[in-house]
Structures are given as C-alpha cells and as structure tokens.
Structure 1
Amino acid sequence: MRALILSLTLVLILGLGTAHSAPVKTHLPGDLTLEEAQTILTAALHKAKNIGIPMNIALVDAGGNLKIFAREDGAFLGSIDIAKKKAITARFFNMPTSEFGAAAQPGKELFGIEATNDGLVIFGGGELLVRDGVIIGAIGVSGGSVMEDTAVAKAGATALQASSTSFKKSF
C-alpha cells in the first residue's frame, strides 16, 4: 500500500510539473545560432571558392562545441582535425590563433601550450565570432596556406558582423 501511494504521488508530481511548466529554453541567448553559423559558413565557402583552394571549415559555439562543419571536395583529410582545433583554440583562449601562436613561440611565455587540451593549433586560420561585443563562437579553417586559411576565416567572421548589423537595421 505504501508503495502504491508513493507511486501515485510521483505520478502526480511529475505529471503536474510537466503539464503546467513553461517551455524549457535549450539555447542560451549569447550563443551562436544555426542560422548565423550557416551565414558564416556560406561566406567562408564563397571566399574559399574565390581563392581556388578546397578548405575544411569548422564553427564552434560559445562553449567550444562543434556547431557546423564543411569539407569541400578535394580538401585534405588531415585538415579536418586542424580546422576544428583552430576554432577550438581561438574560442578557448579568446583570440585569433595567429595572435595566440605569437605568444607560444620558443622563448615566449606560452611556449609548449599547444600540447595541452588534447592539442591546440597555434598558427593562423582561427578567428573569433563576436556579436554585440560578446564572443559567441569561433571559426577554424584549414586546407591552404596560413594566409589563405586566415583570409577564409576572416571572411566568415566578417559575415557575422554584416548579418548582425543588417538584423539590427530591420527593427
């Protein structure tokens, strides 16, 4: 009898809790949305096409979790991991990988840091994604030279700024 009363009580509590509670938000307001990620990815892919180098492009959210990824036909397989790690490195340390790498050179204070966090990438091609002064993620690009990767990553990051500005103007 006691078990029956306990079971009924749990059913009532659980049933009432879900029937009358507000919807649970699963997306934080300061995080990269899928729509933004698609806009950034499209701009980066367009820049890669203009350069003529097949690229791997990874975007991570504010928590450093993979949000969206594209591997162009013919892009190096080994660059998949590099693109993801460039995005993660930029987000984990809140700076472009080119700036982070400058502080990690021999004789500098962060020398050797690339061996931490399951491997970091300390050369250009990782850029922060910033909306309204808040870091909401990062983009990492790999497949070309460091200069080409950086240009593609910056094209993606710039597209976020442009889309944020036009979004604000529509209100």
Structure 2
Amino acid sequence: MTHSRPIATISAAAARELTDAAAAAAAEIGVPMCIAVTCAAGNLIYFQRMDGAPLLSTDIAINKAYTAAGFGMATHAWHEFIKNDPPLLHGIVHTDRLVTFGGGYPVKEEGAVIGGFGISGGHYHQDMEVATKALAAVGLAAE
C-alpha cells in the first residue's frame, strides 16, 4: 500500500506565460495590475507588479490566487455562495487570506486544480476581464 499520491501543479514556465498574458491584457485597458500565480497548494510561484500598480493590490492578488487554488472556485463565486447563509457570511469572511470578490481563478488541467491565478489593481470587474483574457490566451478556461 502506498501512502502518497502525485499532485499535478502548474510549472514555473506556464505561470510566467500566464503572468505575461495578464500584463499584456492589463496594458490593453490601461490599468496597471498585480498578477499572482500559485501552485496547487496555494504557494506563490510567480508574481509581477506592473509599474504603477497599487501597493495594496500586491497581497490582494496573491490572496485571490490562494483562495482560488484552495477551494477550486473563482473568487467572485463566493458572494453568491455565502450571501444567504448567516454562519458563513459572518464567519468565513474572517478567514485569513480568503477573498470573496472577483479576480481570482483556479487554474485547471483535465478537471484538476493545478494552481491559482489572482489579479488586482482595478475594479474587480477589470481584474476579472484581465484574468479571463489571460487564461484564454494560454488555452485555459476561466471557471
């Protein structure tokens, strides 16, 4: 009997490709952003803070990627998930590093979470736009 299992995770090269695609998408809309990619376990693999991106967006982008990797769902889905559930609404939002607004997406390959992707710097709708464009540019789906 084996006591371990292999865990697929995003490569550093793929993380950089995704980050570069996000920076290009952010430049297209003229909003400098912070861009983070984590492994499947939520540990930071690659990060870029574009010139002029807000300082506070650094941790927000990293935490969006962490949240998306940790739960395997996009950060914008959290609002709908908790809004009518008082114990979650008033409890889980106090969990360190949990982000409950848009801009974070799980990175999946063949249905398995291989990483997290977080964008911060604009309104969360802009963050989502940049993230979905970047994911599409590298052949991944935004879920």
Give me the TM-score of the superposition, normalised by structure 1: 0.73
Q: Does 1:78 align with 2:45?
A: no
> 2:20 — aligned with what?
42
Contact 1:131–1:161 (8 Å) recurs in 2: no
Counterpart of 1:87? Answer: 65
Structure 1 stretches of at least 4 aligned residues deviating more than 4 Å after TM superposition: none
Counterpart of 2:93 in structure 1 is: 114
Q: Percent identity?
A: 39
Instruction: Please give the per-residue CA displacement for 1:49-73, whole angstroms capped at 9, x wherever unaligned.
Output: 0010000001110110000000000
Q: Which consecutive unaligned segments of at least 5 residues does structure 2 have?
A: 1-5
Shift of 1:95: 0.3
How many angstroms apart in 1 are the aligned matches of 2:59 and 2:10? 21
Using the size of structure 2 for normalisation, the TM-score is: 0.86
Greater mean deviation of Cα atoms: 41-50 or 147-156: 147-156
Secondary structure of 2:47's counterpart equals strand
Letter in structure 2 aligned against 1:60: T
In the TM superposition, what whole-angstrom CA distance separates every residue of 1:63-114 from its partner, at most 9, and x where no partner exists?
1000000000010001111111111111111100011222233x32531312
Q: Does 1:55 align with 2:33?
A: yes
Q: Relative contact order: is structure 1 or structure 2 higher (C-alpha 8 Å, sep ≥ 6)?
A: 2
* Superposition deviation, residue 29 in structure 1: 6.1
Pick from 121, 128, 131 the counterpart of residue 143 of structure 1.
121
Work out whether residues 21 and 138 of structure 2, in 8 Å CA contact, stay in contact via their aligned partners in 1.
no
Matched pairs, number: 133
